[in-house]
Structures are given as C-alpha cells and as structure tokens.
A = this chain, B = another copy of it.
Amino acid sequence: MSTIARPHNPESDPRVKAVFDDIRATRKSDSINNLWYYLAFDPPLLEDIWRGVKQVMAEPSALDPLTKELIYIAVSITNSCSYCVHSHTAAARAKGMTDAMHADLLRVVSTAARTNQLLNGLQVPVDEAFDREA
C-alpha cells in the first residue's frame, strides 16, 4: 500500500517515457522498479530525482561505483528506509558485492551506530587535533 495511487500506463506521458527509456538504457535492463513507476505520478519530480541519482551514482567520479553503493546502503540502513536497503543491496550485488563484503558492510555500519550513540551519550568535546585549520 502506497500513499499515492499506482499510475496507469505512465509512459503515455512523453516526459515519463523519456525518463523510463533513460533508466533502461543506463541500467541495460527492461524493468522499471517501483520507485520510478510510482514517481511517474508527478513527471517533474520523477525527472529531478532520476537526474540526481543518475548523476551521482552512474557517472564516473572520485569514488568507484561499488563504494558508492555501499555508502548508499549505509545511509539507507541508518534512515530505516526498507525499500532503499533492498534496492541498493541488489544494486551492490549487481556491481560485485560478495557475501563477505556484505557482512563487512553490516559490521562497519553497526559498529559506527554503536559508537555514535556512545558519543551522543558522553557528549565528549571534539579534539583540537581534528581541526583541519589547526
């Protein structure tokens, strides 16, 4: 159950069709996953989100594609976004994440959450040594 009605035949709108075609070409796959399908209820929002995700995740940049997917999963776990955890775990596997890497990712994410809450409880002052301008 979504908060919006599932669009019927969204590709009859040429703006939606253009985005879906670009998703298919970028991912070399015919399937359009539910995020994009439902987002078609508002074509400008669909265009913006797709452009943003494509630019950050599909274009070459300082970090390699798999590292970016691991970071994406880490954020999605911490924000408790079930859909995002599922979709980006699948994406990471498609880009080469093994079970051992998945376990290591979960190890780092859960350890970070542990010390994050420890520090939020201790309220320790930040060391001067961490100051880049010092």
A residues whose Cβ falls under 8 Å from a Cβ of B? 1-6, 31, 33-35, 38-39, 41-42, 44-45, 48-49, 52-53, 55-57, 61-63, 67-68, 70-90, 93, 98-127, 129-133
Contact = CB atoms under 8 A, between A and B. Distances in A.
B133 A5 contact: yes
21 contacts: A1-B131, A1-B133, A3-B89, A33-B127, A35-B122, A38-B124, A41-B103, A44-B103, A49-B110, A61-B104, A72-B112, A80-B80, A81-B116, A85-B121, A86-B130, A88-B112, A106-B122, A110-B115, A111-B114, A112-B117, A113-B116
Given A62-B103, A98-B62, A129-B33, A79 B3 contact: no
* Interface of chain A: mostly helix, strand, loop or mixed: helix
Given A72-B111, A83-B125, 10 more contacts: A3-B121, A4-B99, A5-B133, A61-B107, A67-B70, A76-B116, A87-B127, A87-B130, A90-B129, A110-B118
